[in-house]
Amino acid sequence: MDRRSLESVFAGVAQSVLYDEPLVRHTTWRIGGPADVLIIPGTLTEVKAALASARRHELPVFVLGRGSNLLVKDGGIRGVVLKLGDDFAAVETSELSLTALAGRTIVSAAHIAIRRGLSGLEFATGIPGTVGGAVTMNAGAHGGEIRDVLAKATVIDRAGEVLEVLPQDLAFAYRHSGIGEKGLVVVTATFALTAGDRVKMQERVRAWSRRRIVSQPLSLPSCGSVFRNPPGDFSARLIEAAGLKGQRIGNAMISDLHANFIVNLGQAQAADVMALMRLAQTAVWERFGVKLEPEVRVVGEDEARR
C-alpha cells in the first residue's frame, strides 16, 4: 500500500499519525529504518481505532515501547507501528500492588514502588523500557524477572476486545512471552509486591547503579546486552577472550568497556550491528565451541519499501 493509500486509511484514527517515520528516533540504539505508519495513540479508543483500521486492510501491526532490546533493520517496518507513549503513563499504588499503564517506563514505576515502601520491582531500575515492553519481553535484571511479580495485565487483542490476562496465560520464558504471538497489546500491568524497607531498597538500587556506571557504556546509544549468557558463563567474557573488544564495523563498535554491548558511535546502520553480531558468534564458536544466542530482538526489512 503506497503512502497516499495509507493516509486515507489512517486519517483521523489518532491525533499523532506519522508516515515514513524513521525509527532511529524511537529506539535506544538510535538505529532503524522507516515505519510505513507510526501511530501514537492518546486514548484507548484511538488504540482500538488503529487496530480496527489495520485489520480491515490486512496490515501487520508491530507494537513498540521505548525501542530498547530492539534492532530495527535499515529497511524499516512495513505496515503499522503502534507506540503507547506518554499518554499511557499513569501509575496507581495500593497497599501491596502497583498498577501502571503500558507507556510508563518500568524504571520510574519501580522507583515509585520503592518510595512507597513496596518491594519486588527493584530489579527493574536497570531496565530501560516501558511497562508494556517489559511485560511483553519478560524483562529482567539482577536475578529478577517480570513474571516473578506480575499479578495480571489488561490487553487488547487484534479484534479490539479488552481482556484481563494472568501470568499463566502468557507463556513466559527467558526474555519472552506469548503476547506477540497472540497479537496482544498490553495496556496496563499490575504487580504484586510486598512491604519493604525503603532505605535498604534505595541502598541496593544505588549500588547497582554505581556498578552499571563503571561497567557499562551508558554514554553511548545501545540496546543493553546483545547476547544471552550461556549456561555457566558470560557472553561478555567470551567475546572479550576472543579479542573483539573495540572491534568496529562502520559506526558500530563492540564496547571496549563491556563486550556484550554494541554501541552506536554515530549514525551506525543495523547492517553494521548485525555484522558485528555475526563476527562475535563466529569467533566465540570457533574458539570456545559456544553458540551465542541473541537477546536483542531483530525486526524489520533489509530494504525499504519502494
CA atoms of 80 and 35, how far apart (whole Å): 7
pLDDT reading at 306 higher than 60: no
Q: What is the mean pLDDT of residues 7-33?
A: 96
Which pLDDT score, from 0 to 100, does residue 304 have?
66
Q: Provide the pLDDT confidence category of residue 303 given band limits of 50, 70 and 90.
A: confident
pLDDT per position as a tens digit, 80-120:
999 998 999 999 999 999 999 999 999 999 999 999 999 99
Q: What is the DSSP letter of 279?
A: H
Active-site choice (119, 225, 235, 255)? 225
Q: What is the DSSP letter of 286?
A: H
CA atoms of 83 and 75, how far apart (whole Å): 19
Q: Bridge partners of 163?
A: 155
Average pLDDT over all residues of the chain: 96
Strand bridging mode 61-64 / 34-40 = unpaired
Q: Is residue 3 classed as helix, strand or coil in its secondary structure?
A: helix
pTM: 0.94
User: What residues have CB less than 8 Å from 44, skipping those under 6 apart?
Assistant: 156, 162, 187
pLDDT reading at 305 higher than 90: no
Q: Bridge partners of 61?
A: 80
Active-site choice (30, 66, 104, 175)? 175
Phi, psi (degrees; rounded to nearest 5) at 68? -90, 160
Is residue 196 within 8 Å of 117, Cβ to Cβ?
Answer: yes
Alpha-carbon torsion angle 187, 192, 194, 199, nearest 10: -20
The Cβ-side half-sphere exposure at 41, using a 13 Å CA radius, reads 24
Full DSSP string of 24-51: GGGSTT----EEEEEEE-SSHHHHHHHH
User: What residues have CB less than 8 Å from 200, skipping those under 6 apart?
Assistant: none
Which pLDDT score, from 0 to 100, does residue 123 have?
96
Q: Could you confirm whether 5 is annotated as catalytic?
A: no
Q: Could you confirm whether 225 is annotated as catalytic?
A: yes
Q: What is the mean pLDDT of residues 212-218?
A: 94
Domains and CATH numbers, the chain: 3-85 (3.30.43.10), 87-201 (3.30.465.10), 218-299 (3.90.78.10)
Cβ atoms < 10 Å from Cβ of 131: 34
Q: What is the mean pLDDT of residues 133-161?
A: 95
pLDDT per position as a tens digit, 221-257:
999 999 999 999 999 999 999 999 999 999 999 999 9
Q: What is the mean pLDDT of residues 260-288?
A: 98
Give a three-class secondary structure readout of 67-89.
CCCEEECCCCEEEEEEECCHHHC
Angle at alpha carbon of residue 35, lines to 262 and 280, rounded to 5°: 20
Is residue 107 within 8 Å of 124, Cβ to Cβ?
Answer: yes
Grid coordinates given for 9: 486509511
Rg (alpha carbons) of the chain, rounded to whole number: 20
Q: Could you confirm whether 21 is annotated as catalytic?
A: no
Give the chain's end-to-end CA distance (angstroms, integer).
10
Grid coordinates given for 67: 525501542
